Amino acid sequence: MSMILQWTALLVCVACSVWRFPAMLKGRNRGLFWSFVAASMCVALSIPGIYLPVDALLGGNNFANVILRLSLFSVFFLISGKIAAAYNSATAVRLVRGPVGIVVLAICSAGIWITYFLSDLHGSSTGLVGFFDQPSVTYYMRFGFVYMAYVSACLVVPTAKAAMSQRQVLDRAAASFMSLGFLLVCLTIPVQFSPLHGSSLMKIISFSSIICVAAGLAMVWISFMRRPALGHIRT
């Protein structure tokens, strides 16, 4: 099931990237387009058939996983401020783009690099599953999820409020999907700190969250196209 979700998430992200490409060429929402492209790359690198040859080209020391983690950070940083602003949450904007959010991002990014260099990661392994016996790899994985969970926690409430508001049906559906997706990201933390961190449950939660957030963002753009005069999430 997890593999089905992985390929589904990849197809959704690629489809959204292709769909947003014409608008990007016209200068509209370029940040959203590049977020979808980065998300597509991250999901692709979670699939063994793609990750293993890519990492082999990079030297076979799992540097591709570092690229995956930091790219995910960039995706969350890019979309978080836009989503928070779109739902008129000044608090969320401040928490993800202000000093606290920047500090959390810096700490988690530094943690990724430090634990990577402290680990013995010779030999490509998708998701680093072959190295879970190393404490440094355990912390590496935790740093990878903490920033995304922090951002998601900041966005759950604004999107949930929008889902329960008097907005148009499509707008409420978009907010519902995103709120569910961000809630799922938050759930990765207790799983990551439990004995289940290496199980398929983590993959199911992670890729389900990607599908939900991507679907929600796509619905936002569809809603904008139907009602262009009302504005949209700006780059």
Residue spans of the domains in the chain: they are 2-230
Are 170 and 226 spatial neighbours (Cβ–Cβ below 8 Å)? yes
**Mean pLDDT across the chain:** 90
CA-CA distance, 94 to 221, in Å (whole number)?
Answer: 24
Integer-rounded Cα radius of gyration of the chain: 18
CA-CA distance, 81 to 79, in Å (whole number)?
Answer: 6
What CATH code is assigned to 2-230? 1.20.1070
Sequence-distant (6+) residues with CB within 8 A of 103 are none
CA-CA distance, 42 to 63, in Å (whole number)?
Answer: 13
Residue 228 scores a pLDDT above 60:
no
**Amino acid identity for residue 20 in this structure:** R
Residue pLDDT, tens place only, 185-224: 999 999 988 888 777 888 899 999 999 999 998 888 787 7
Q: Is the model's pTM score more than 0.75? A: yes
Residue pLDDT, tens place only, 98-140: 999 999 999 999 999 999 999 999 999 999 999 999 999 999 9
